[in-house]
Amino acid sequence: MSEQFEARLAELEARVAELEHGGSDVPAGADPPTGGAVAYQGDVHLHGDVTWSIGYSPDAVLELSVARTSGVLAALGHPVRLQIVRRLLRGPANAADLQDVVGLGSTGQVYHHLKALASANVVEQHGRGDYRINAKKVVPLLVSMLAAADISGELGT
């Protein structure tokens, strides 16, 4: 699919979701619906080929689980964990490989960070001692990193 088609499809999906969940009656004291759409997509060729597109209404985004969202953001918010994720986005690795990449003194420290990332569903153990990022999470993780860079001003936007 073309990028323009995928973006249009994401916008339409967000509008349908808004219609299905928004309704026309706003309860007293409730925030009125905002309208619009938030979407992202990607066609990535890192460790395999991944195409992903998703869209939501701003209201639906604001209703997502605070606990689950903050768990992922907290896991990604540690510099060592972000380095681990960056390495795993290029392909699976074991704890010893990750220890070398992030420069930690022991694999025990790496396992501590891998446990936090696994608890947040960011990484998964594959096979005996190898860790990886599920293909469905590659684009969302890259978008999260890009959004964080944008918010920080690193992109100059």
**pLDDT, tens digit, 9 for 90 and up, residues 64-111:** 999 999 999 999 999 999 999 999 999 999 999 999 999 988 889 999
Angle at the Cα of 113 (from 107 to 119), degrees rounded to 5?
Answer: 130
pLDDT reported for residue 5: 67
Helix axis angle for 79-88 and 95-102, nearest 10°, is 120
Residue 105 is encoded by which pair of tokens?
Answer: 């003194």
pLDDT, residue 81, reads 97
* pLDDT score recorded for residue 21: 61
Backbone phi and psi for residue 18, each to the nearest 5 degrees, phi listed first = -65, -40
pLDDT of residue 83: 97
pLDDT at 24 over 60: no
CA separation for the pair 119, 105 (Å, rounded): 23
Residue range 25-55, pLDDT digits in tens:
555 556 677 788 999 999 999 878 889 899 9
Q: Which comes out higher in pLDDT, residue 20 or 56?
A: 56
Supply the CATH classification number for the domain 65-157.
1.10.10.10
- Of residues 149 and 19, the one with the higher pLDDT is 149
Instruction: Please count the helices (runs of H) and the strands (runs of E) in the chain.
Output: 7, 5
- CA–CA separation, 129 and 89 (whole Å): 17
Pair 84, 99: CB distance under 8 Å = no
Q: How many CB atoms lie within 10 A of CB 37?
A: 19
Domain ranges of the chain: 1-64, 65-157
pLDDT of residue 105: 86
